[in-house]
Structure 1
Amino acid sequence: MADTSPHRQYRHLNMSNRFAHSKVQVLRDGRFSLHTNDHANRLQAYLEKRVKKRPLGGQVRRKTQKKDPIDYKAVLGSYEGLPRINIAIHIVGSRGDVQPFIPIAQALSKPPYSHRVRICTHPVFKDLVEENGIEFFSIGGDPANLMAYMVKNPGLMPGMESLRAGDVGKRRVEMAQIMDGAWRSCIESGNGLPEDANVVRTRKEEDMRLFIADAIIANPPSYAHVHCAEKLSIPLQLIFTMPWSPTQAFPHPLANIEPSNVDPSITNYLSYSMMELLAWQGLGDIITRFRVKTLNLDPISPLWGHLLLSRMKVPFTYLWSQELIPKPKDWGPHINIAGFSFLPLASSYQPPDDLMAFLNAGPPPVYIGFGSIVVDHPAELTRTIFGAIKRTGIRAIVSKGWGGLGEDTPPEGVFMLGNCPHDWLFQYVSCVVHHGGAGTTAIGLAMGKPTVVVPFFGDQPFWGAMVFRAGAGPEPVPYKKMTEETLAHSISLALGPEIQAAAESMGKMIVRENPGAAEAARYFSEAIDLSRMRCFLSPERVAVWRIKKSNVQLSNVAVSALMAGGHLSFEHIKLIRHIDWYVDEGAEGPSTGVLGAVSETVLNMVMNIADYCRGLSRTLHEDLEKGNKDSFEIARAKDAVHGDAMDPDTLHTIPTRIHIQPADTYPHGRLEYIAYRMASKTARKADKKKRRTWKQKQLDKQAQEFSRSNDMRSTVEHKHGKIHGVAHETRHFAGSMIGAGLKAPVAFFYNLANGCHNLPSYAFGDDTVRRRDKITGFGSGIKAATKGYGLNMYDGITGLVTQPYLGAKKGGAAGFGKGVGRAIGGLLSKTLAAQFGLLGYTLKGIEKQVGKRGSRNLKARLIAIRLRQGLLEYENASEEEKALIMDRWNKISQAQHQT
């Protein structure tokens, strides 16, 4: 019977270009089948041009570092030690995904690092995180629901039953909530749970809990990581337990490569892009909404968004032993393998008496367990396990797990086990049989135990294959093909002398390696380069601010000290951008750019319609008074604790010399008002003799509204009733649709210009293509347009001479011919890029400039948090440190005068 399900279109993905045709089909075991054919050699050359030979990208340090004429290191001398920073660790997944990050967080929070580390994951893991001494923040989501969904739909695409039950929509809503929670974990205090937000605290207590991430660590499935890092301009490190970076050494763990005439190394490499594309196909609109609505960032098309991590060379650390999977040769220096990260649980475990009696009653048993895997027919699986045990004549410990195994009476020599730490239990067993989860595989190999993998779905076949390749276990037999005979045969092979010797040898080599958590912490510190994040005046603190038009980066304490001394005012400083992530490189070619622009416009309009429908439903059906009663009571209580609001008549006055005092003694709303003025770039000293303009009065009004609403975000939005609410939603919808229409030509010309600009690099292997300047406003848009026009025209014309010459120099006559082709293609594409760039980049600059007003509140909120942190840190700083800051400032001032 033909597959006529409505999601059939998502089970197949076909990609064709002039090099090859690739067909991707999602399988029901959670993996995908990849078949590639046609011109293998041309495909290999294309991939090498496309990714392998591209220069390191993604992270761009501030331009001012190149312009400042003062050598501050020579002026201030060399300092020892590194700053203490705030780290947010984003984790989405099961307990097995969360557990390896806990030892890493512990290592980073202790000397020599002593960072403040916060693990941000699902609320069900709160106790696990906190009982190990790590700060916790809830990003929402329920891994139990996710596991149930995966068991029900083991493939990447859902079944008809899930579609009818609305499971897909629920999981998408949950993923959107997780992304929003990940962003909140970067900027909010507390633990992210509702009950914590409702606790009334003094302003002093609230200030003590303030948090803004200075760096992010994440596992790739959390997906919000790179977007949060881009918004905050902070370092990002990805850490995972399975391969996620493209390589020719082995395929993506979820890929099943079909035989073809293409070199296997090429299809291996291609499988990673296909996996990312499938993920973006399902989550692209959620990511776009998150970027646009929550972070006020530009949308990213899935057509090039799926290449984001590999394009930008985001630092990766993998948690497995190189004895099991050596680092592939085509992985760059930004990718490291740290080793297995184990959370020791054996020391605190007290085994029950019956378990100890069973272990002492005979030879070491075989462990059989499938963890959190849930099967449709547990009784049948139990009979299969018991039958294999009888065939081999062994003693066995069978874990009940989530699947409810062992309801039948177990035969003699079998012990049914509940929850038990693997690092304790595996000391006493002769062999381990499990589903192939990364964590269980790791601890079994580290203990030197022969391993039998019975994969169910996902990455489990990959780990089974790696164990088999290492000789530490037999070839894995999938669960659906497992019988009494196959399981008994696999166990017998695993207990043989060859596999036992190989497993013991691997266990000894793993034990000799440095602990994976410590290595991961070291790689993280090296990747983010903490020495470049230090404050110039107080190097043991992280720089938070930068003096405008200079390279002087300062900590909160340094800024407070200089303001107290009258050397700085709010108009002189801005939030520092430690790293500018070059996210929007754009399309690979003009056709992709046009398609991306069309899809962006359509998606923008669809999101506006969806928002309008949700807004109407909320307005018409919610009991607003009841829904906001508690929030008003909480806000009123907080107001009573925080004190009275300040006099509106004095709000517009921002003094040059600041009297530094504890943050909790400032009038309510004062710091928020200053933050808004800084965000809108109007934080200048007020001239009382000069009459304020209408624009200044409007800014004052906006700043006052922000200062009042910053701590009372849950006020009634439609306080005039449902009719007023419907009118408000309709007015907002009309404005958003007009905005979407105005953005359509911007997206078209901007993406078309990017596509023409990038085409020579991707299609012809032209390594002379220059990186386009980042557009942040009208001025930078004009600069990018004019500069791009001149350089593209210059490179296109001069390429007629330089490209054939370079080609002949590298490849003789054949290289000369290729150079002529690159020159002609480059002249055409670069000329078009110059022409379209004039309009496209200018329009983009205008759009960015207009959009800055919409991001003021978020920027002001970040500034307000930093101001409060600064006052608190200054209050707690020693007089000796304050004096040292002033002394170093005087040295910098003298150096500036001399230049």
Structure 2
Amino acid sequence: MSRVVILTAGSHGDVAPYVGLGVELRAAGHHVTIAVSERFHELVTGAGLACHSLPDLDVQDKVVSETADAANNTGAKAAFALIRLGVEVFRRQLPEMVEAVRQADVLLCSHPTVLFGRQIAEAARIPCAVLPLQPGEPSRYLGPMVLGGRNLGPALNVAVAKMVARGGYRMFAGVVRDLRARVGLPPLSPSAVRRRYEAIPLRSLHGVSPVVVPRPADWPETTEMVGYWWPPRPAGWEPPAELVDFLAAGPPPVYVGFGSMGANRRAQLETVVREALAQSGLRAIVHRGWAELAVEGDDILPVDHVPHDWLFPRVSAVVHHAGAGTTAAGLRAGVPAVPVPLAHDQPFWANRLVALGVAPCALPTKQLTGERLAGALATAVGDPLFRERAADIARRLEQENGATRVLEVIEKLVAREG
């Protein structure tokens, strides 16, 4: 049995897959600790895993709030705003990150934490691997995630992705300097750290199905697509009676939800969703989410979080922000989608849904109107081809187990170090 620490950061969608992976690793005999923001303590411990809580920023702070709003978009400016936010978050979290890894045999890092995790693992003399939830390696065939996956052509796809990575090393230079001093590593410039790590790449195991994103041919051998890690349903969870009754009262409704996104677009989203549902005449379950959407009506049921693996198979289509986790959950359920990408890598996932033939179109916020959303919903629900394609992908995903390859790599890494 190995002591595995998973280091991650972000919103619920950035944490839940690692909880699912942790459950699989624990079932295989490993002791698993997830080091994550303190607000996810219950999510982690409720799945039977150990949690090492990391301190949060004060979201009520004006500067923090303004930076978070700027980061919730697509493009280079949003990416660098996200990095600025990360600088403050990780500076606070570093001492507890170091403490979390102190007794570990192996460290698994999310993509946002790997710059720090790799150096902590180096000082602790334990193996480390990175487990991204979206394509994180530059490729001629994939547009940079910082631009929402927009394809710039082979040369620029690689050049821009590398440029952004170099910018990240520079922006985190102060945090890295403090970390290296804390763990007893010699000081290095940002460019020296980058060159060193690019010369010896980590094992990179993407929690993404190759059915959804085929592995680019120009990725190094150390980089793989291993399949999804499915979040566990909370222990003892039962659907609210109101939800069960609503589902039984008529044809399958559509689901509308934007997760942890959309708080800075609440008015627009409420208006669009309200108009689209009125025009389409469809029954709907609307997730309030971080935007606290207030959309009500006779055929509309507002809900807080409901496990996607229980709810999505019971709906006729899913309108969502095209986050990596929600995209995967919809595909797993075999239901059509109408993606409404809001920020970060979401345009990439929205376009993948269209390319896979399970969504009629993507509706970015600049194109989002009640009429367009109503039309897309009518097509997604009314054309059986979308459900047929989605069902086919769901059958293929069912054959995968994304944790299997991670287990194999852990065993090899620990054996090599031992």
1:461 to 2:347 alignment: yes
Equivalent position of 1:220 in the other structure: 111
1:98 to 2:12 alignment: no
Residues 393 and 347 of structure 1, relative CA distance in 2, 3 Å threshold? farther
**Which residue of 160, 163, 169 maps to 1:271?**
160
Residues 128 and 375 of structure 1, relative CA distance in 2, 3 Å threshold? closer
1:316 to 2:204 alignment: yes
**Which residue of 248, 252, 264 maps to 2:144?**
252
Distance in 2 of aligned mates of 1:466 and 1:85? 37
Distance in 2 of aligned mates of 1:242 and 1:481? 25
Q: Could you state the TM-score of these two structures normalised by the residue count of structure 1?
A: 0.43
**Which residue of 151, 155, 158 maps to 2:69?**
151
Equivalent position of 1:389 in the other structure: 277
1:434 to 2:320 alignment: yes
1:138 to 2:26 alignment: no
1:489 to 2:375 alignment: yes
Equivalent position of 1:835 in the other structure: none
Q: How does 1:736-751 map to 2 (within 5 A)?
A: none
In structure 2, the residue corresponding to 1:240 is in which secondary structure? coil
Q: Is the contact made by 2:142 and 2:157 (CA closer than 8 Å) also made in structure 1?
A: yes
Q: Is the contact made by 2:130 and 2:205 (CA closer than 8 Å) also made in structure 1?
A: yes
Distance in 2 of aligned mates of 1:170 and 1:257? 22
**Which residue of 240, 253, 266 maps to 1:352?**
240
Query: Would you say how many aligned residue pairs link Structure 1 and Structure 2?
Result: 410
Q: Is the contact made by 2:320 and 2:340 (CA closer than 8 Å) also made in structure 1?
A: yes
Equivalent position of 1:516 in the other structure: 402
Tell me which amino acid in the other structure corresponds to 1:510.
Answer: L
Spell out, residue by residue over 1:859-878, the C-alpha distance to the aligned partner (whole angstroms, 9 max, x if none). xxxxxxxxxxxxxxxxxxxx
Shift of 1:308: 5.0
Distance in 1 of aligned mates of 2:202 and 2:14? 20
Shift of 1:169: 8.1
Tell me which amino acid in the other structure corresponds to 1:247.
Answer: S
Distance in 1 of aligned mates of 2:57 and 2:25? 27
Equivalent position of 1:403 in the other structure: 291
Q: Is the contact made by 1:248 and 1:330 (CA closer than 8 Å) also made in structure 2?
A: yes
**Which residue of 328, 332, 349 maps to 1:446?**
332
Residues 423 and 403 of structure 1, relative CA distance in 2, 3 Å threshold? same
1:234 to 2:126 alignment: yes
Residues 362 and 347 of structure 1, relative CA distance in 2, 3 Å threshold? farther
**Which residue of 356, 361, 386 maps to 1:499?**
386
Equivalent position of 2:35 in the other structure: 120
Distance in 2 of aligned mates of 1:452 and 1:226? 38
Structure of higher RCO (CA pairs closer than 8 Å, 6+ residues apart): 2
In structure 2, the residue corresponding to 1:316 is in which secondary structure? strand
Residues 347 and 224 of structure 1, relative CA distance in 2, 3 Å threshold? closer
**Which residue of 290, 300, 303 maps to 2:191?**
303
Spell out, residue by residue over 1:476-518, the C-alpha distance to the aligned partner (whole angstroms, 9 max, x if none). 12123211122122222322222222111111111122x2233
Shift of 1:385: 0.6
Residues 326 and 151 of structure 1, relative CA distance in 2, 3 Å threshold? same
Distance in 1 of aligned mates of 2:225 and 2:66? 32
Q: Is the contact made by 2:91 and 2:175 (CA closer than 8 Å) also made in structure 1?
A: yes
Q: Is the contact made by 1:141 and 1:175 (CA closer than 8 Å) also made in structure 2?
A: no
In structure 2, the residue corresponding to 1:397 is in which secondary structure? strand
Shift of 1:148: 7.2
Q: Structure 2 unaligned runs (5+)?
A: none
In structure 2, the residue corresponding to 1:333 is in which secondary structure? coil
Spell out, residue by residue over 1:783-806, the C-alpha distance to the aligned partner (whole angstroms, 9 max, x if none). xxxxxxxxxxxxxxxxxxxxxxxx
Distance in 2 of aligned mates of 1:313 and 1:366? 43
Tell me which amino acid in the other structure corresponds to 2:5.
Answer: A
Q: In terms of Rg, which structure is larger?
A: 1
In structure 2, the residue corresponding to 1:299 is in which secondary structure? coil
Equivalent position of 1:532 in the other structure: 416
Spell out, residue by residue over 1:860-897, the C-alpha distance to the aligned partner (whole angstroms, 9 max, x if none). xxxxxxxxxxxxxxxxxxxxxxxxxxxxxxxxxxxxxx
Q: Structure 1 unaligned runs (5+)?
A: 1-83, 188-211, 535-899
Tell me which amino acid in the other structure corresponds to 2:69.
Answer: V
Tell me which amino acid in the other structure corresponds to 1:341.
Answer: W
In structure 1, the residue corresponding to 2:231 is in which secondary structure? coil
In structure 1, the residue corresponding to 2:263 is in which secondary structure? coil
Q: Is the contact made by 2:5 and 2:33 (CA closer than 8 Å) also made in structure 1?
A: yes
Residues 381 and 103 of structure 1, relative CA distance in 2, 3 Å threshold? closer
Residues 368 and 100 of structure 1, relative CA distance in 2, 3 Å threshold? same
Q: How does 1:411-810 map to 2 (within 5 A)?
A: 411-495=297-381, 496-513=383-400, 515-526=401-412, 528=413, 530-534=414-418
Shift of 1:370: 0.6
Q: Is the contact made by 2:126 and 2:417 (CA closer than 8 Å) also made in structure 1?
A: no
Q: Is the contact made by 1:104 and 1:521 (CA closer than 8 Å) also made in structure 2?
A: no
Shift of 1:429: 0.1
Residues 489 and 119 of structure 1, relative CA distance in 2, 3 Å threshold? same
Q: Is the contact made by 1:217 and 1:237 (CA closer than 8 Å) also made in structure 2?
A: yes
Distance in 1 of aligned mates of 2:25 and 2:149? 39
1:290 to 2:175 alignment: no
Spell out, residue by residue over 1:7-28, the C-alpha distance to the aligned partner (whole angstroms, 9 max, x if none). xxxxxxxxxxxxxxxxxxxxxx
Distance in 1 of aligned mates of 2:151 and 2:237? 49
Shift of 1:278: 2.4
CA-based RMSD:
2.7
Deviates more, 1:308-317 or 1:420-429: 308-317
Distance in 1 of aligned mates of 2:286 and 2:195? 43
Shift of 1:242: 0.6
Residues 104 and 308 of structure 1, relative CA distance in 2, 3 Å threshold? farther
Q: Is the contact made by 1:123 and 1:141 (CA closer than 8 Å) also made in structure 2?
A: yes
Tell me which amino acid in the other structure corresponds to 2:147.
Answer: A
Distance in 1 of aligned mates of 2:384 and 2:83? 48
Shift of 1:103: 2.5
Q: Is the contact made by 1:176 and 1:286 (CA closer than 8 Å) also made in structure 2?
A: yes
Distance in 1 of aligned mates of 2:131 and 2:15? 11
Shift of 1:307: 5.0
Distance in 1 of aligned mates of 2:143 and 2:346? 13
Distance in 1 of aligned mates of 2:34 and 2:251? 42
Residues 499 and 171 of structure 1, relative CA distance in 2, 3 Å threshold? closer
Q: Is the contact made by 1:90 and 1:121 (CA closer than 8 Å) also made in structure 2?
A: yes
Residues 385 and 471 of structure 1, relative CA distance in 2, 3 Å threshold? same
Shift of 1:531: 3.2
Spell out, residue by residue over 1:762-819, the C-alpha distance to the aligned partner (whole angstroms, 9 max, x if none). xxxxxxxxxxxxxxxxxxxxxxxxxxxxxxxxxxxxxxxxxxxxxxxxxxxxxxxxxx
Distance in 2 of aligned mates of 1:519 and 1:478? 35
Residues 471 and 312 of structure 1, relative CA distance in 2, 3 Å threshold? same
In structure 2, the residue corresponding to 1:490 is in which secondary structure? helix
Distance in 1 of aligned mates of 2:325 and 2:406? 16
Residues 342 and 171 of structure 1, relative CA distance in 2, 3 Å threshold? closer
Q: Is the contact made by 1:88 and 1:117 (CA closer than 8 Å) also made in structure 2?
A: yes
Distance in 2 of aligned mates of 1:102 and 1:218? 13
Shift of 1:469: 1.5
Q: Is the contact made by 1:346 and 1:424 (CA closer than 8 Å) also made in structure 2?
A: no
Distance in 1 of aligned mates of 2:150 and 2:23? 43
Distance in 2 of aligned mates of 1:308 and 1:462? 30
Shift of 1:152: 4.5
Tell me which amino acid in the other structure corresponds to 1:454.
Answer: V
Shift of 1:395: 1.3
Residues 423 and 140 of structure 1, relative CA distance in 2, 3 Å threshold? same
